[in-house]
Structure 1
Amino acid sequence: MILARRFVLAFLVLAAFAAGFGCAPGPQGSRERPLSRIEAIQLAVSLANAECQERYQYAPFSESSYTISQAGERWIWGGLDLVGEGGFSARVEFDARGGDRQVEVYYSTDALRPLD
């Protein structure tokens, strides 16, 4: 009985260990399957906020900041926006599985002033 319990426990530990490796992202966060639209938006927001936080100590982006689109096998989110939240805008691009990432964050100090 004790031997059977040990066998079952060992099997469960090995199965959990093997399953963890199957779900881990590969290089630059690439996954086994293509990202859904929701997953792509969440990844884009996370990458944009991480870059903005690193450069400006501010994370202004949310899932509703920009729409996401697909161009071929790539997801594209955001772009240069002079009237973005606090002057910040971002453009994030990555492949269908979340790899080959390109993240650009912009800060604009331009302000509209009335003509005198």
Structure 2
Amino acid sequence: LLEFADDTVINYSRPSPAIESTSGDVQNRNTSDTKTKASPSTISPKPFIKFVKAADRPKENKTDKGLAQVEERLAELRNRDLKYCKTIRVLEFKVEARADCIESLTKELEHIKKEK
């Protein structure tokens, strides 16, 4: 066990596999050779898996960034919605107040016309 002589501990928790292929890819293979006889040149080697340490991976993946952006935009839209609802309530109150004012002024005008 000479390869473990230095007692180095490597953390391989949750490795993410990366598949690499070689030049003898399955798509580039000549199918006529494989039908008659399988020669060593036509047999493609299996792809191998390369493990990456957890420290080598990026801290945040694209999905987390996209989710954070969507949540931020949603919070912004909710705040805008609340602001617009409040503005609409104020405008409705002003319209109602003006309608009441117009109604009272028309009653007063009718009363003045009756007195004449």
Rg larger in 1 or in 2?
2
Which structure carries more helix by proportion? 2
TM norm structure 2? 0.26
TM norm structure 1? 0.26
